Amino acid sequence: MNSLNLAWIPLPGAIPARQATLEAAQLQPVCRKVADDGGRLLALWGSDEGAGSFALHVTLVNQDGLLCLHLLLAQESPVYPDISQIFPCACRMQRTVYDMLGVAAAGSADQRPWLRHAAWPVDSFPLRKDFDAAMSQEADDYPFVQVEGQGVHEIPVGPVHAGIIEPGHFRFSIIGERVLRLEERLGYVHKGIEKRFENNSLLFCAKLAGRVSGDSTTAYAWAYAMAAENMACVTPPERALWLRALFLERERIANHLGDLGYLANDVAFSFGMSQFWILKEQLLRNNAALFGHRYLMDKIIPGGVAVDLPDADTLLAECDLLEHEVRLLRSILEEHAGVQDRYIGAGTVEPKLASQLGLCGLAGRASSQAWDARVQFPCVPYQTLEVRMATHHNGDVAARVIVRFEELFESIRLQREILAGLPAGDLLEALTDLPGNGFALGMVEGWRGEVMVAMHTDAAGNISRVHPHDPSWQNWPLLEHAILGNIVPDFPLINKSFNLSYSGHDL
Amino acid sequence: MYQILKQIIKTGIKTEPAPLADETMRAGEQRLQQQILAVLGRSLAIRLVDAGSCNGCELEIHAVNNAYYNLEGLGIKFVASPRHADLLLVTGTVSRHMEVALQRTLAAIPEPRLVVALGDCACNGGVFGESYASCGKVSNVIPVDVVVSGCPPAPLAIMQGILTAISAKK
């Protein structure tokens, strides 16, 4: 990286991370170099620096750690170089930076709005400090890409979907039963989370972070707490970190169980649905009995955790039960010709495409993208647990099911290791104040992929900007590719095999 | 097939008794009339709209359909179209981008109909509150019959809320 002639400053924290402030002309060469060396774009966001100036922040990740680039934009023309040619997943992030902050990527091909529909006017930007919340309801007409040709027709789906799912719009262009093109339109559950973080208390923001995407509440709460702790140079007690890992692995087990149930249900194998959901319910009940919340919301707080483990026996018994039952269910699913016929070859994302477009997390690992923050950047307690990464090369629904099963068994193993090695000690290290003009990152491998939280403070140490980043940002565009050539009735199955977050994306 | 049947027999019946209706969940003056009960009988069709939730409430709505709670066993089922629905279940603070979709979904449900606001965000705006992007609680946008608090409400509370909505006011 030194060849890039940037003045890197190390960022505090357990995950290796560096930051540098650069000139606009350096952004593309730095991104190109990182991409050529196998690195990826993790997140891209902007901030209002006051007095009419803005900054762009880009976090890249390579095998050495996180690289955070800050670009101060000229006041007279707040634009920055487009990096979506280098990292295609930057496209929607750049469109969002414009919607929220009015700062554009110069020369990018797609300048359509992304998160802004009609709730605020085109010349008004919510994340500017002088944003006036006076609202004007504009007409909402989004220019979808039209597919033309004989026999092509469109199926618009959503925002309200047929099942118990979050809202979003899918525009299918099809010939007969085959999907020629899918275009997503998201942003329906945009509820102003990033604005809500501004100037709120450390504890309120912790609560808010835990509700960016409910199914990943512990991952977000941990990433948020990690950012705050890194900024304040506070290390939580060892026991608290081990308990956080316990909560995170329980969240992974719960979500994988639920998804495996729905993936069985979506191929009309309702036996699988009821069996996996019985197991999930037992886990949730143990969460409620031991920790006071079925999804462990608000149990990870800045400085440590809010609850201790009363006894390990319940969880050890649960591990035995889960391992036995899931093994049995896996053999039933794998031997069921009807189920496998639907899983194998459906919604394929080839490893090459996955790498080009930056597919990450669980879906990435099912397409040979061997990234898992618990493995590459292990912090306490993962460096002693030695997580075994699950990967597959087929990139289809079947591969994403296999990766889920393998991660489930690995998380059960990790849970046993955590229960055996849980150190004694306190649960909380005091963390009440943040330093002024601070910047810090937190990153956690949630069940869906890397969850990152970036935090900025103003001169007085108040939270001025929090940017939560969901792995769904990287993976939503790949769903558009995964469906190509498949038939419309397989869409629910393929969609479920990714199971991406709308709320975590729409913010 | 043998393994599947063996597992089904081994699992047995997990379903637990349903909770009773809870009068404290009723929101102010109820629009429900005795005749709705007569119309609905014991079968109720629910249409869910996530109007801006964090998806936590959806996790618990999925759970009420698992074998332990077995909502469908009580004759209450989730349907794909608002045209088939008797009750609209709404989660989340209502995002301004979902405001129109929520109103249209309600309008598509034939009368008589019921509305249940589910979760703290739907009841009072929750952590997201009212903002440039959020209308806040559901009753700011459409009339609500029953509110179920909780973040997210546990499956039994969800069932109680639904049962309260369809039982006549005492």
pLDDT digits (tens, 9 = 90+) for A351-392: 999 999 999 999 999 999 999 999 999 999 999 999 999 999
Give the minimum alpha-carbon distance from A274 to chain B in angstroms, rounded to a whole number.
6
Reported ipTM:
0.91
Average confidence (pLDDT) over A50-71: 92
Q: From the CB of residue A386, how many other CB atoms can be counted at a distance below 10 Å?
A: 11
Who wins on pLDDT, A456 or B74?
A: A456
pLDDT tens by residue, A266-322? 999 999 999 999 999 999 999 999 999 999 999 999 999 999 999 899 999 999 999
- The strand order across the sheet containing B87-91 reads B76-78, B44-50, B87-91, B114-118, B146-148
- In the prediction, which pLDDT does B30 show? 44
Who wins on pLDDT, A402 or A143?
A: A402
Residues of B in contact with A207 (CB under 8 A): 127
Say whether A365 sits in a helix, a strand or coil: helix
Record: contact B68-A281, CB cut-off 8 A: yes
Residues of A in contact with B55 (CB under 8 A): 166, 213-215, 501-503
Nearest-by-CA chain A residue for B105: A160
Domain boundaries, chain B: 2-165
Record: contact A214-B133, CB cut-off 8 A: no
Record: contact A192-B133, CB cut-off 8 A: yes
- In the prediction, which pLDDT does B160 show? 87
Record: contact B133-A191, CB cut-off 8 A: yes
How is domain B2-165 classified at the architecture level of CATH? 3-Layer(aba) Sandwich (3.40)
Pick from A192, A204, A274: CB nearest B67: A274
Say whether B34 sits in a helix, a strand or coil: helix
Residue ranges of chain B with pLDDT lower than 50?
29-35, 170
**Long-range CB contact pairs, A317-325, < 8 A, 24+:** A318/A282, A318/A283, A318/A286, A319/A412, A319/A415, A319/A416, A321/A279, A321/A282, A322/A253, A322/A279, A322/A283, A322/A408, A322/A412, A323/A409, A323/A412, A325/A275, A325/A279
Phi and psi dihedrals of A437, rounded to 5? 50, 40
Q: From the CB of residue B20, how many other CB atoms can be counted at a distance below 10 Å?
A: 11
pLDDT tens by residue, A111-154? 899 999 988 888 889 999 888 876 666 677 888 888 888 889 99
Residues of B in contact with A165 (CB under 8 A): 50, 58
pLDDT above 90 (res A1): no
Residues of B in contact with A281 (CB under 8 A): 63, 66-68
- In the prediction, which pLDDT does A133 show? 72
